[in-house]
Amino acid sequence: QTSNAENLPPQTLRLLCREVSLLSADPPDGIKVFPNDEDVTDVQVAIEGPEGTPYAGGLFRMKLVLGKDFPAAPPKGFFLTKIFHPNVGPSGEICVNVLKRDWRAELGLRHVLLTIKCLLIQPNPESALNEEAARLL
């Protein structure tokens, strides 16, 4: 796994470093961000399972991977913790519109993380990657 950091323009890297350190210092509720000092394009995250959902009490590790086209292209999201969810594929990939057609560069990583946390509360059957989990909705 090579770092994408060297493929990003210095200005993008600076913005990214600032955003990741802000997120780790002041994370959204129920979300912890662990900056990767070796590779800023690999953002490690832990999301607490929201109360009142089947995920309550769990801690779900995930990562955002930022490609060389970031922020023009959205980051890719993956759950590292095994999770049974309609919008999470067998290898942990997360299907959510903000990581696809609804992405805009100005949204930022905080918005992405909040959207993924909301997905744990309210799955989206329209973009199901796990048919079995989707049938249970």
CA distance 48 to 56: 7
Peptide bond into 71 cis (omega under 30): yes
Neighbours of 45 (CB within 10 A): 25
DSSP one-letter code for 137: -
Torsion-angle region of 124 (φ positive above 0: left; ψ -120 to 50: alpha; else: beta): beta
Neighbours of 19 (CB within 10 A): 17
Neighbours of 60 (CB within 10 A): 21
Extract the tokens encoding 3: 């770092």
Q: Is 17 a catalytic residue?
A: no
Which candidate in 88, 95, 116, 120 is catalytic? 95
Give the residue numbers marked as catalytic. 95
